[in-house]
Chains A and B, each alone.
Chain A
Amino acid sequence: MKHLALIATLATGALLLYGTKDFPAWGDPQAPASTYLSPHYIEDAVEETHVPNIVTAVLGDYRGYDTMFETVVIYCAGMAVVSVLSRKREEE
């Protein structure tokens, strides 16, 4: 069982390392992740929202839905913990 897990882990790691062949190098400004949407955020976020911290601007405004359901997720986590664990002391 342990050997099977080790083999599966090594196979997955090898597959992922093979996948890094096509990835951009570390710190490349022309990486695909940095050229599609983020120049718009960096250059225009302050004009559009008057917030110098671009992370906050994106979090609260451009991705407001994401953050809202984020709040709902932690809300649900709290409710789940209460409903899973809650009990009275004298039950023991």
Chain B
Amino acid sequence: MESIVGEIVAKYNYWIYVVLMMIGFYAMIGKRNLVKKLLGMNIFQTSIILFFVSTGVKKGGGIPIVDKYQGLAGTVEAASTVNPLPHVLMLTAIVVGVSVTGVALAVLQRIYREYGTLEEDEILEKIQR
């Protein structure tokens, strides 16, 4: 029992992301409103971004902006700076997320213009008539 609690406390960050991911995933597959599905996708994406950024954290590490003269002298230590690679990947992922949200909102507006509703069941009924 002690070891399980210790395990959970040492990795509590992953628990937060998994809970956020479950909220987003449930909204995506369980809700019937298309806007709610889109919001669920955004929550899902946020949990993945947080997960990736947290893999770059080092205990006691500073921001990934180093002193230029230290860097030129080659005296920067890798252990004192957080991992910059997840930050770069997530910077691009955020922009892709904004693009996906924009296109999805445009398609939702078009669906609303066509069918007059954003509820999944009502749209399916109107398609089948």
Q: Are A52 and B71 in contact (CB under 8 A)?
A: yes
Instruction: Say yes or no: A13-B22 contact (C-beta < 8 A), given A58-B84, A59-B91, A84-B107.
Output: yes
User: What are the interface flags for A26-65 relative to B under an 8 Å C-beta threshold, 1 for contact and 0 otherwise?
Assistant: 1111010110011101111111001011110011000100
Cβ of B57 < 8 Å from any Cβ of A?
A: yes
Chain A residue, CB-CB nearest to B75: A43
A1 CA to B32 CA in the complex, in Å?
10
Q: Are A9 and B106 in contact (CB under 8 A)?
A: no
Instruction: Say yes or no: A73-B99 contact (C-beta < 8 A), given A54-B64, A85-B109.
Output: yes
Overall SS of chain B's interface: helix
Chain B positions within 8 Å of A, measured between CB atoms, are 7, 10-15, 18-19, 21-22, 25-26, 29-30, 54-59, 61, 64-68, 70-72, 74, 76-79, 81, 83-88, 91-92, 95-96, 98-100, 102-103, 106-107, 109-110
Q: Are B58 and A34 in contact (CB under 8 A)?
A: yes
- For residue A66, give the distance in angstroms from its CB to the closest CB of chain B: 6
A-B contact pairs, 8 of them (CB 8 A): A29-B58, A43-B76, A47-B74, A55-B84, A70-B92, A73-B96, A77-B102, A84-B103
Q: Which of B15, B78, B102 contacts A81 (CB 8 A)?
A: B102
Interface positions of A from 3 to 26, Cβ below 8 Å from B: 5-6, 8-10, 12-13, 16-17, 20-21, 23, 25-26
Q: Are A27 and B57 in contact (CB under 8 A)?
A: yes
Instruction: Say yes or no: A12-B25 contact (C-beta < 8 A), given A26-B10, A33-B83.
Output: yes
- Residues of A with C-beta under 8 A to B95: 70, 73-74
Instruction: Say yes or no: A84-B110 contact (C-beta < 8 A), given A20-B14, A46-B66, A77-B102.
Output: yes
